[in-house]
Amino acid sequence: MAADNTSDIYFIDTSALVTLFRDYHHDLIDSIWEKIEGLFRSGRMYSHRLVYDEITWDSKRPDLPSKKITPLQAYFKPVTFEQAQIVSNIVKRFPGFIDIKSEKEESRPWLIAAGILEQRQLSLFNPDKTVFIVTEESELDRNGVPTATKGFGLSHLNLNEFIRINNWSFKSVE
């Protein structure tokens, strides 16, 4: 991991967003989200449009994650041809990574593809930057995001590690 993480770039997946809003203490969610939103707005955090769609799928009855993410839609990368080429490689290299019987497009390979493209661009202009995929998927899952991320030269963090390397601290209101 980079010693100075002030220039690192993060791509957050659905599992990390869901975990934040589902599992973290309600007193901490707003404080954490404020910092995450700051990273989005400063161009240091992104996600993918398919992650956005997974979170905001019920527009008639938006839940808290949907309400928080909707104003940040511009930071969720759209599907591109370059991503599609990388997604094809991801699926070939990790055949169990997606459910081929699924009726909807899965966001995980697209998120990694967007991260790979970001890393390629950064390596030309700022090789000291690191692209991290923030996920709550287990490192032990050989078909999970951490395994595929490592296989394509990116780094990954779970939500707690992400908070720790950004040196964020929070106090719960009792």
pLDDT at 2 over 60: no
Strand-by-strand arrangement of the 76-77 sheet: 76-77, 45-48, 9-12, 131-134, 155-157
Strand partners, 157: 134
**pLDDT one-digit tens code per residue, 110-168:** 999 999 999 988 877 777 789 999 999 998 888 889 999 999 999 999 999 999 999 99
Structure tokens given for 70: 């909707």
- Give Cα 162 distance to the centre of its chain: 11
Q: Please, what are the domains in the chain?
A: 5-165 (3.40.50.1010)
**pLDDT one-digit tens code per residue, 126-136:** 777 899 999 99
Residue 68, helix vs strand vs coil: helix
Please name the helix (run of DSSP H) or strand (run of DSSP E) that holds residue 138, with its range, or none. Answer: none
Q: What residues have CB less than 8 Å from 162, skipping those under 6 apart?
A: 10, 16, 132, 134
**pLDDT one-digit tens code per residue, 14-72:** 999 999 999 988 888 989 999 999 999 999 999 999 999 999 987 788 888 999 999 99
